[in-house]
Structure 1
Amino acid sequence: MPGPTEVQQARRDQGPTTGRGAQRREELLAAARRVFERKGFIETRVSDIAKEAQVSHGTFYTYFDTKEAIFKEVAHAVIESMLASMAILIPSEDFHDRVHDSIRRFVQAYRPHATMLALMEQVGTVSPELRELRLDARETFVRRTERGIRRMIDAGLADADLDVEYTAESLGAMLEYVCYVWFSLDRPFEEERLVGALSAIWEKALLPLPARKGTRKRAGRAR
């Protein structure tokens, strides 16, 4: 494949300069996502994306130089969509409500993007560049969890002695993997029951020690 023309390179570097160009680029991204989700990353070819978008090869290369480049754009859009859907907090100071709401919103944000997230996981094992993309995406969610834990500590709701960084890493990994098993490996779960169980685990990990002891005592009396 010959290198891009000056016009093509300028469009890739600067983005579309017209409304029609911006629309065409968005159509290519939407088409690429459909093809990636249908065929997987390895089996997808540029010609498949161009056909799905009903454009020529030349039009594809006007905006993207490889399928890896457009995959990265689609992946970034997935992460931005997930973050936007999790941005609104419930107006509650109750510890249980805040944890439960956080878990539920992550599940709801993950569900529509499960196939792309699974592809990002798979592609990261074969491409160093895309592995960094997957790690960056995970880092975004871990840091978000870390900020949430720190806010709870500042409000006196969570244990001030927590190792916040590694607690966020561990709880985030658990939540991500459960969603992967649920939505990508099709393990059937009862949503309310699972969200409740995940919330209980998070609460026990985050609560100050006296509150954890009180929780165990109450659980013991209930049995």
Structure 2
Amino acid sequence: MTRSKLLESARQLADTKSVPEFTVEDIASGAEVSRAAFYMYFDNKLAICEEVARTTQAGFIDMVTSFKRDADIRSTIQAGVRAYVDGFRSDRPGMRMTYELAYAETTIRELVHDTRTVVYQLWEHEFDRAVETGQCPPLDVPLVSRLVVGMLETFCVRTMRTEEYSGTSVADRDPVETISDLWCRALQIDF
């Protein structure tokens, strides 16, 4: 129980502060436990942040890989994009912490890379199927898969941290539809 309270406290702090802005004391206080109790479960702040990142990425992968595939690639793209965006937003504090630390901490950067690899492979499979069934023209599947994932990740990270898209058509419309439409047009998939 104490361990899960500490993890939730760290996750909540990450929703309002950057990781350098909060301390072990803040985490312990948010969990209503002592610093000594914190150190019974974690060696330091980075250790708890790594655990939050691992659980966040595992939940994200579960959501991203569980979307409904359809015989129609357009529907599959839309379902896959929705699963990605929803997966990213389902644990906003955990994702904020993960991406913030991925720039500085090797273990978390590797975790994010491993997650990307799973998502790349998922999209490669879907695009290979679309090419084989003639739903889209021949294309460089690994490259397109990486572009899709890169665009989705960039959109999710930027909308998580800023109001950059406020007042634009992206803010006024379902972003899943916007992103899906862009990819279907780019891949010359009929509407």
Class of the TM-score when normalised by the shorter of the 2 chains? 0.7 to 0.9
What SS is found at the alignment partner of 1:134?
helix
Whether the 8 Å contact between 1:114 and 1:184 is mirrored in structure 2 is: no
- The residue matched to 2:99 in structure 1 has which SS? helix
Whether 1:181 aligns to 2:164 is no
What do residues 23-63 of structure 1 show as CA deviations (whole Å, max 9, x unaligned)? 33222211211122222211221111111112222222222
What is the aligned partner in structure 1 of residue 184 from structure 2? Answer: 203
Cα distance in 1 for residues equivalent to 2:107 and 2:85: 27
Match of 2:141 in 1: 164
Point out the structure with max Rg over C-alpha: 1
Quick check: 104-113 or 46-55, which moved more?
104-113
- Aligned residue for 2:22? 44
Distance 1:143 1:180 in 2: 21
Give the SS at the match of 2:91.
Answer: helix
Deviation at 1:78, TM superposition (A): 1.3
Q: Please point out which of 34, 47, 72 is paired with 1:56.
A: 34
Question: Is residue 182 of structure 2 the alignment partner of residue 190 of structure 1?
Answer: no
Tell me, what secondary structure is at the counterpart of 2:21? coil
> 1:99: which partner in 2?
77
SS at match of 1:110: helix
Instruction: Provide the alpha-carbon RMSD of the alignment.
Output: 2.5
Matches within 5 A, 1:1-223: 23-90=1-68, 92-159=70-137, 161-186=138-163, 187-188=165-166, 189-192=171-174, 194-207=175-188, 215=190
Q: Which has the higher contact order (CA 8 A, sep 6+)?
A: 2
What is the one-letter code of the residue matched to 1:190?
D
Matched to 1:58, the amino acid is A
The ranges of structure 1 where at least 4 consecutive aligned residues each deviate by more than 4 angstroms after the TM superposition are: none
CA shift for structure 1 position 69: 1.2
Q: Distance in 2 between matches of 1:135 and 1:87?
A: 16
C-alpha displacement of 1:130: 3.1
Q: What is the rounded CA distance, in whole Å, between the counterparts of 1:122 and 1:114 in structure 2? A: 12
**TM-score, length-scaled by structure 2:** 0.81
Equivalent pairs, count: 186
Gaps of 5+ in 1: 1-22, 219-223
Post-superposition offset of 1:91: 6.1
Match of 1:10 in 2: none
The alpha-carbon distance between structure 1 residues 149 and 78, as it changes in their structure 2 partners (threshold 3 A), is same
